[in-house]
Amino acid sequence: SHYSYAVLLAEALNNPEKAAKHFKKTLKHQGDHPFASYDLALYYHQEGKYKKAQKYYHRAIAVNPELQTPQNDSAFIIPEIPKETIAATVVQEKEETPQRPQLTDTVLITGATSGIGRASAFEFAQKGYQLVLTGRRADRLESLKGELQASYGIGVTLLQFDVRDQEACQTAFDQLNDLQIEIDILVNNAGLAMGLDPIHKGDIFHWETMIDTNIKGLLYMTRLISPGMVARQKGHIINVCSTAGKEVYPNGNVYCATKHAVDALTRAMRLDLAAYNIRVSQVAPAMVEETEFAVVRFEGNEERAKIYEDFQPLKAKDVAETIAFIATRPAYVNIQDVVMLGTQQASSTQVHRTGR
Ligand code: NDP
């Protein structure tokens, strides 16, 4: 009961201090609880009390060696402990381990330099996850890393590449392998709309850019990351779809087609990966502000990009919170699809532009 209450306090009620008290009470009653020490390690790490964090991490891996990963070791700055030493102290049956996601899992977010991807980086960082952030704009990635490390003290690895370029995706993935970083959660977010023209006037370059980014880029990344998940029998892929993947709207033709492809791929991946204990989810938002989506769609035309002023759309943070919620459900729960619209938007074409 103490443990369940502590998790509730930490994750839903945003009261980490009180949660820590109940994690300690859990340990008082059950010294070898499989997760309480680990949760305390995370708590103290987030508080910047690294020595205490390290102490609890030691205790956690002695009880539950599955919690020891290279990423956790470096996060808690711990020297290598020979596996036999840990095994000798362990009185833990695997079947007894309750399913609970590890909060220092590593999340790779494509398109983290702006909008929903950037907001998601903050959501995961706040929860203590390690991050791999990608995008084409190196300066943005660097400043984001600085901000996240200063605020949350988490590990951030940057990979600058274009998801349309299969070789560049492979090179980035090889870099991860060299660093011995395994991806637990892949957020396929990088994407864009370009243009808003009827089909007979469509710009072929726009079409190819959208298809190459939204469909092929997502596939390249999934193809590279998913085999490791299959091998480890653990992982979560979260695709950023759109309401444009659920319905079509005038002049949205190719963008809608790419997001319909994402919708189909989410369902198809789920069928293929369920057997390997891999979760597949997607979030399908309608219009989202605090992003560069409209500016990109209208190629820098700030006037045309003013599409959010006369109603309240979703904010990037709303979508990011949903992505983080999906990722932090217990390991046996797979939220497959979340469709999100601002209250004033009922469909792609029905927006009540009556002011904010
Ligand atoms: P932003 O333009 O703010 O962010 C898009 C991100 O994708 C940027 O970080 C950009 O990084 C990255 N990106 C784009 N092309 C590439 C590429 N070729 N290679 C690598 N990264 C790339 O828009 P959003 O945050 O709104 O978009 C995120 C996702 O949300 C997209 O998939 C979009 O379709 C979807 N979406 C957005 C909605 C909205 O209204 N905003 C509504 C529904 C869905 P960089 O330029 O540095 O490479």
- With a cut of 70, say whether residue 159 has pLDDT above it: yes
The mean-pLDDT minimum among 50-64, 111-125, 144-158, 216-230 falls in 50-64
Answer yes or no: is pLDDT of 99 > 50.
no
Q: Over the stretch 270-325, which tens digit does the pLDDT of each residue have?
A: 999 999 999 999 999 999 999 999 999 999 999 999 999 999 999 999 999 999 99
Q: What one-character DSSP code corresponds to residue 211?
A: I
pLDDT of 53 over the 50 cut: yes
CA 115 to ligand 1 centroid distance, Å: 7
Instruction: Please state the atom number of ligand 1 nearest to the C-alpha of residue 212.
Output: 18
pLDDT for the residue numbered 103: 55
pLDDT at 98: 41
Q: In this model, does residue 27 exceed pLDDT 70?
A: yes
Residue 264 has pLDDT above 70, yes or no: yes
pLDDT bracket for residue 64 (50, 70, 90): confident
**What is residue 14's predicted lDDT score, i.e. its pLDDT?**
81
Edge-first strand order for the sheet with 235-240 is 156-160, 130-135, 106-109, 185-188, 235-240, 278-285, 337-340
Task: List Cβ neighbours of 222 (8 Å cut-off, separation of 6 or more).
Answer: 186, 188, 237, 265, 269
Q: Kindly report the backbone phi and psi dihedral angles of residue 283, in degrees, each rounded to the nearest multiple of 5, phi listed first.
A: -120, 135
187 CB under 6 A from ligand 1?
Answer: no
Confidence of residue 82 (pLDDT cuts 50, 70, 90): low
CB atoms within 10 A of CB 280: 26
Q: pLDDT band for position 204 (50/70/90)?
A: very high
Is 255 considered catalytic here? yes
3 state DSSP class of 107: strand
What is the rounded (10 degree) CA torsion for 256, 323, 224, 42? 170
pLDDT value at 92 more than 70: no
- Please determine, for residue 1, whether its predicted confidence score (pLDDT) is greater than 50: yes
Q: In a mutational test of the pocket of ligand 1, which residue from 109, 162, 293, 319 has the highest number of ligand atoms less than 8 Å from its CB?
A: 293
Mutual angle of helices 115-126 and 316-327, in 10-degree steps = 50
CA angle 81, 79, 98 (to 5 degrees): 55
Residue with tokens 């979560």: 236
Q: Is the shortest distance between the CB of 240 and ligand 1 below 6 Å?
A: yes
